[in-house]
Structures are given as C-alpha cells and as structure tokens.
Structure 1
Amino acid sequence: MTEIKTFNTKNAAQPVGPYSQAVIAGPHIFVSGQIPADASGKLVEGSIADKTTASCEGVKNILEGAGSSISRVVKVTVFLTTMDNFAEMNGVYEKYFTHKPSRSCVAVKELPKGVPVEIECMALTGSG
C-alpha cells in the first residue's frame, strides 16, 4: 500500500483552510492551488504577471522543499477569474514551465481572497 503523507514548507504561504500545501503519494506530489501570496501569507499587489509569478514561486518553493523541482511537474491547472488575463499569465507561466507539462486553464467566477489567479500541479518526486 502506498504511503500518503502531507507536506508543508515555511517558504510558501500557509494553507488558509483544512488542507496541506502538498500531499506526497508514492512517486507523486500533488501541490494545492497557490494564490499570489508571499511566504508570510501577504497577498502580492501589482499586475497579473506579478501575481502569476508569486503563484509560480509558491509552487516552486513547495516542490523544492519536498525534494522535487518544477522540472518534474507533469500536470498543471491554472484558474483565472477572467480569460482577459490569459496572455499575460501565459507570458510568465512559460518561463517557469519550460518543459511544457500538460495543462488546463479555466475561468472561474471567483477565487479565495479575491485573487485573479491560482495554480496547482502534480509532479514526480525526486530531483530528476
């Protein structure tokens, strides 16, 4: 039976509800949605590019803390409150996910704390 363990790092915003930053199950890491907040939980101000960068940094810091890396991501889901922000989000996204993992991007009515973007992913454990 595969061991399932939760993972949290102080290098990314702490969960604001009853969940973990990530769950490690066998060779997989499931990273919870990261909103644009710094490690202290303070929401990032600025453009969609700034906010997407913060979300990607949260994902990156969680993966690295769990002993993996962003290059081990196999699936990403991006949530936007409007597709008007797609191009600007994508400009930042492609700098982080250069290996082009599979991805879904959906527009949703709203996100936690009123943010315009949230990013979650699944990755393989290990550094590659």
Structure 2
Amino acid sequence: MSSRKRSVRITTAPRPVGPYSQGIVGGGLIFTAGFGPQDPVTGEVAEGVEEQTRQVLRNISAVLAEAGAALGDVVKATVHLQHLHRDYDAFNRAYREFFVEPYPVRTTVGSELQHILVEIDVVALAPAPSS
C-alpha cells in the first residue's frame, strides 16, 4: 500500500465481505466503507430503520475512532435507504442523535440493499499528524 494512504482495520466493526477496507486515511481525510447495521459481535441485524441507523453509526464511529477521529469530524455522508419514502423520517430521527450542527453535507438515495434497510459511508477530517 502507498505510504500516502493507510488502511483502517478493526474487529469492533463488521469485517469486509469483499476486497475492500473498512476505512482509508489519506490526504488529510478518512473515507469509510459503506456500513450496514450488523452488530460486529453477534452479526445480528435489528428490526426497523431507526435501530439499524443507530448500529450503522456506531460501526462508523468505531472505524473513525481507530483513525483518531469522531462523528463530529464527518464532513460528508452518503446514505442508502431501502425504502426511501417510507423510512426517511424515522431514519432522520436516529441520525440526529449522532450529529450536531453544523451537520455534514449528505446525499440520501433509495437503493436496492441486501436484507438491510440502511447503509452509510462517510468522509471525515483526519487528525493533523503529530510533529
């Protein structure tokens, strides 16, 4: 791997099911994979979009923490909802529990997801390198 980027790999977030990283740090930013709502310990998926959203954001938070950041450092979120019109308001209720103003910019789309209701990936500011 290039010294200009590094992979973030942890056991406290769902493991990749393909050839991708949980996160990449490079160029002063942290990019996460799209995370679903699987509990990293049990593999279970909660019912309902609100609890699934909470688990997705806990998964993302764990990856960001490993890279030295937090949800407050997120500048961009991309959200995929299985049922965009049905679940949008419930999703937003849970999402607001994790973010404060100024909120990250966000794209929210309806997507065909495999057995889950929500998937999210983010871009966050990486901590400044120590000198």
TM-score (ref. length: structure 1): 0.91
Over the aligned positions, Cα root-mean-square deviation in angstroms equals 1.7
Q: Which runs of 5+ in 2 are unaligned?
A: none
Q: Deviations over 1:70-92 (max 9, x none)?
A: 10000001100111111001001
Report the equivalent of 1:94: 96
SS of 1:34's equivalent?
coil
Identity of aligned residues (%): 30
Report the equivalent of 2:63: 62
Q: Deviations over 1:31-84 (max 9, x none)?
A: 111100111361322221110101010011110111111100000011001111
Segments of 4+ moved more than 2 angstroms: none
Contact 1:2 1:25 in 2 (8 A): no
TM-score (ref. length: structure 2): 0.89
Find the aligned partners of 2:3 and 2:71 in 1 and give their Cα distance.
Answer: 23
Q: Give the Å deviation of 1:126.
A: 1.8
Q: Which runs of 5+ in 1 are unaligned?
A: none
Find the aligned partners of 1:93 and 1:22 in 2 and give their Cα distance.
Answer: 20
Count of residue correspondences = 125
Find the aligned partners of 2:31 and 2:116 in 1 and give their Cα distance.
Answer: 21
Q: Deviations over 1:86-111 (max 9, x none)?
A: 10010010111213110000001x22
Q: Give the structure with higher Rg (CA).
A: 2
Report the equivalent of 1:25: 26
